[in-house]
Structure 1
């Protein structure tokens, strides 16, 4: 709480550079990014990984298969309320057994460990200094440590432990200076052919039950088609998509703009303030791990910024959102 209050007091002061300019990343270090990016689309694996942040620990089981039809994956959370995500390429189904609900949507921006880098990673050197660390063992595999040090304080640093044979990330940490904000790590992993494809199918108890399905659809828009725009995004962040989206818990579609620096993503959600509910309270809201949230009110709309970046950055992006006149038309409907 004290950290939030301090940032509110200092919110008008945003430093954007370090005193020392970092050099260009070496070709060898950048080559490891290519291995990391393509590895999940080349290898089959089954394993158990642990997520840790803010004193919270969560264990998940994953099965991942690549074949002529693309990628299929099942991630089952083993702690707390049961959750199971089935992914077929970019189509996702999330099963929530406690409420007998299935939520379907596209994997627009979500990253799932160990698939953490986009296929287009060329801009990372502009925003991060990429370097090699030592070699270390993770769950029995020899790994090369790859460090991504931010070139300013608008983003977090990252540390990847990469299997030297496959390029799969076996451990990943988001760091702020020397402080680990969140971490993923395999506790057990088998890489190779997976003959039992039933591992990626819902079990019979799920199939036999009656579930309520919610389909979250999105309408992708042309560039600058929304009447809302980000006038002055922080250095290195570029708009990657704008759309109208259905969000769980919302009765009507809301505006969504997403920015990225090649690794970190920031989403901007804009919705009219309803007279039926109390007005939202502007300010910062905490979340677990690397995700930070900032809310502001503009022209009777609630603007929510959610990003895996420091609080100063979500505020800078949120305060740059402006409303402008535009002709609205939907380009295409995607499910």
Structure 2
């Protein structure tokens, strides 16, 4: 899974400059392709706001791509301090208050402004995709792309892409009634130009006394997991399977990912301990993420994703051993 970026960094830079000069595409699928690649190939820095229900927070981000690969620093400016540092294919999430560092792979993250996969497959089977109006976001002209779900198992989305580069400037998720579930938007952003080392230098230092969590798992074949979903959730196909460590003396969890090409649902399957609190089973939510937990076959099954609650429940209930 680990991507080697150094060998292709020069090509990425050339592609980034050519994107800025290219004619703007007319069809919405081409716009989605530009959005998917721009955040990986364009230098930018700015602040953006995340809003979900009554919760909001502001983050500062700087991203640089050069002949040595990709570098990024994201700092949450509200509440408890958090910092995410990317160097090449590795991401470190630093939590100073908890004296904890979480190490993961860069390609496991789909956070703003990287909100789309590199390929879309049969996305049009699950969404009606169209171009919206051009409007201004953070001082730039932005093309709106609308994704309207064809059923009630996924949310609707609107994406606003900067017209010259395709960089995502704003993202909105809405429920079936049109209510805003989540919105992320740049308050200010500078696209292109040099990104100095001072913008990428970590603010927080840590040492050997901190707890280090290696979140990256080992990818395995889906047939090796011994688990699957029957019946499958319409429009969602299995896209990856891995084993992730649970911590000292706790063994491993199986992590399955199902996707419709845009939204994804993660399913974690771990041995059920006798101490597991039963009152935490059932449906929960955390912002735009819905969570469903059930105990079955001697395991705790947790399904979660930025999809309606009915979708995570249906998939969570469908997961069972021996299904593929």
Q: Residue 214 in 1 paired to residue 188 in 2?
A: no
1:273 and 1:279 in contact (8 A); partners too: no
Distance 1:116 1:99 in 2: 28
Q: Give CA-to-partner distance per residue, 1:43-93, whole Å, 9 cap, x none.
A: 100000000011111000000011123321111000000000011243110
Contact 1:101 1:211 in 2 (8 A): yes
**8 Å contact kept, 1:128–1:150:** yes
Q: Counterparts in 2 of 1:123-138, with a 5 A limit?
A: 123-138=122-137
| Deviation at residue 194 of structure 1 after TM alignment | 2.0
Once residues 321 and 289 of structure 2 are traced to their aligned partners in structure 1, the CA distance between those partners, rounded to angstroms, is: 25
Once the two structures are superposed, what CA deviation does each residue of 1:201-258 show, in whole Å capped at 9, x if it has no partner?
Answer: 223x516795332222412111311111112222211111111102479832211111
Q: Please, what TM-score do these two structures have when normalized by structure 2?
A: 0.86
Q: Specify the alignment match of 1:16 in structure 2.
A: none
- In the superposition, the TM-score normalised over structure 1's length comes to 0.84
Give SS of 1:52's match: strand
Please say if 1:295 is aligned against 2:293. Answer: yes
Tell me the CA shift for residue 285 of structure 1: 1.1
C-alpha distance in 2 between matches for 1:162 and 1:254: 37
Distance verdict in 2 for CA 1:318–1:27, change over 3 Å: farther
- Other-structure match for 2:183: 183
Note the residue ranges of structure 1 that are not aligned, 5 or more in a row. Answer: 1-25, 327-335
For 1:264 and 1:170, the matched residues in 2 are separated by: 19
Alpha-carbon offset, residue 109 of structure 1: 3.6
Note the alpha carbon deviations across 1:144-189, whole angstroms, 9 max, x for none.
Answer: 1110011111100100111101101101000113111000000010
Q: Give the structure 1 partner of residue 271 of structure 2.
A: 272
- Equivalents in 1 of 2:310, 2:107: separation in Å? 25
Aligned to 2:15: none
Does 2:165 match 1:162?
no
Deviation at 1:139, TM superposition (A): 1.0
Partner of 1:21: none
SS at match of 1:235: coil
1:72 corresponds in structure 2 to: 71
User: 1:216–1:248: 8 Å Cα contact kept in structure 2?
Assistant: no
Deviation at 1:195, TM superposition (A): 4.1
Corresponding residue for residue 81 of structure 1: 80
Q: CA-to-partner distance for each residue in 1:124-152, whole Å, 9 max, x for gaps?
A: 21211110111110111011111001111
Where does residue 16 of structure 2 map in the other structure? none
Higher mean Cα deviation, 190-199 or 158-167? 190-199
Which one of 296, 317, 320 corresponds to residue 319 of structure 1? 317
What CA distance in whole angstroms lies between the structure 2 residues aligned with 1:250 and 1:262?
A: 36
How well do the aligned residues superpose, as a CA RMSD in angstroms?
2.2
1:96-107 correspondence runs (5 A): 96-107=95-106
Tell me how far apart the structure 2 counterparts of residues 241 and 280 of structure 1 sit (CA, whole Å): 30
Measure the CA separation in 2 of the matches of 1:195 and 1:220.
Answer: 34
CA distance in 1, matches of 2:134, 2:52: 24
SS at match of 2:194: coil
Distance 2:303 2:46 in 1: 33
Range with bigger deviation, 279-288 or 246-255: 246-255
Instruction: Pick the structure with more helix per residue.
Output: 2
Change (3 A) 1:31 1:201: same
* Residue of structure 2 equivalent to 1:153: 152
Distance 1:308 1:247, change over 3 A: farther
Aligned to 1:261: 260
1:325 deviates by 9.0
Shift of residue 27, structure 1, vs aligned partner: 6.6
Distance (whole Å) between structure 1 residues aligned to residue 143 and residue 249 of structure 2: 44
Segments of structure 2 that go 5 or more residues without pairing to the other structure are 1-24
